[in-house]
């Protein structure tokens, strides 16, 4: 099973983000991910960092490790702008880029204020699932050089010259509800499920399905301070999860990541 790291951008310095990614590049890490938040307010941090600026810097300063955004917020990012950003990262790290997408925050959640800051309507669960589905289709159309997409929310017309010749990156859907997991199974290359009290039920349900060839199931966990990195929880090993994603803080977890270095 791969162990991946999810970098926390809140209050982080870009040089620390690059340093911990370089340590991961030399260690037994599959992918370095960074989250998509423009404000640190909701977690009490003084700022956040743009994920694509961070990924560009990481891509230029690493050689082996895969890199990706987990997850790009389709409520805030139109697929055309998202495609341009992630394809630019691909030019710096060919063959190493992954694209995670998510449907945005739910009303009442701690990240809802980020939508409110820029006047984005907080959609219902069904509406967010529909937006996610349409956004994935728009992304697929962009890489297929389709000039028009009819979606009212995330469509386009007369579109051309957005991405280079790189193949569309592996697409991962971030999920915590089964309705979103279903979108991933139908339209994406994998699903990343946040650990909640429904996790084992969801993993059991996934095991009962004939998943597409190459489809990856990963789980996102919050690392408790002082917990060793690289140790996968037994419940995920037993469930046959493909990837274990754990959060780290660039400013304080460099030594822990360095300790994962391969012999």
User: Predicted confidence band at 42 (pLDDT cuts at 50, 70, 90)?
Assistant: confident
pLDDT tens per residue across span 245-259: 999 999 899 999 999
Least confident range from 35-39, 66-70, 110-114, 231-235: namely 110-114
Compute the distance between CA of residue 157 and CA of residue 147 in angstroms, rounded to an integer. Answer: 6
3 phi and psi angles, rounded to 5 deg: -105, 125
Residue 21: which H helix or E strand, with range?
helix 14-25
The domain 2-258 having CATH identifier 1.20.1440.230: the answer here is: no
**139/168 Cα distance (integer angstroms):** 9
Give the number of residues written for the chain: 263
- Whether 142 has a pLDDT exceeding 80, the answer reads yes
Taking the domains of the chain in order of start, what are their residue ranges? 2-258
pLDDT tens digits, residue range 77-134? 999 999 999 999 999 999 999 999 999 888 888 888 898 899 988 889 999 999 999 9
The answer to whether the beta carbons of residues 244 and 11 sit under 8 Å apart is no
Q: How far apart are CA 178 and CA 198, in angstroms?
A: 10
């Amino acid at each position: 099973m791969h162990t991946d790291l999810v970098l926390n951008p809140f209050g982080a310095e870009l040089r620390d983000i690059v340093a911990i990614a370089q340590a991961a590049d030399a260690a037994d890490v599959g992918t370095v991910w960074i989250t998509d938040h423009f404000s640190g307010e909701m977690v009490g941090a003084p700022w956040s960092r743009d994920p694509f600026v961070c990924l560009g810097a990481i891509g230029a300063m690493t050689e082996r490790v895969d890199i990706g955004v987990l997850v790009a917020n389709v409520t805030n990012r139109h697929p055309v702008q998202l495609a341009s950003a992630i394809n630019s990262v691909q030019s710096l790290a060919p063959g190493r880029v992954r694209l995670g997408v998510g449907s945005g925050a739910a009303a009442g959640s701690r990240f809802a204020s980020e939508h409110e800051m820029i006047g984005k309507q907080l959609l219902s669960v069904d509406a967010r699932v529909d937006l996610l589905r349409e956004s994935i289709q728009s992304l697929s159309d962009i890489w297929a050089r389709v000039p028009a997409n009819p979606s009212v929310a995330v469509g386009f017309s007369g579109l051309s010259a957005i991405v280079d010749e790189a193949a569309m990156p592996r697409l991962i859907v971030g999920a915590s509800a089964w309705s979103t997991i279903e979108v991933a199974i139908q339209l994406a290359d994998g699903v990343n499920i946040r650990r909640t009290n429904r996790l084992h039920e969801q993993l059991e349900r996934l095991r009962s399905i004939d998943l597409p060839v190459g489809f990856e199931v990963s789980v996102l966990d919050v690392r408790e301070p002082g917990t060793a990195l690289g140790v996968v929880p037994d419940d995920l090993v037993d469930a046959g999860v493909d990837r274990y994603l754990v959060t780290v803080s660039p400013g304080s977890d460099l030594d822990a990541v360095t300790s994962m270095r391969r012999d």
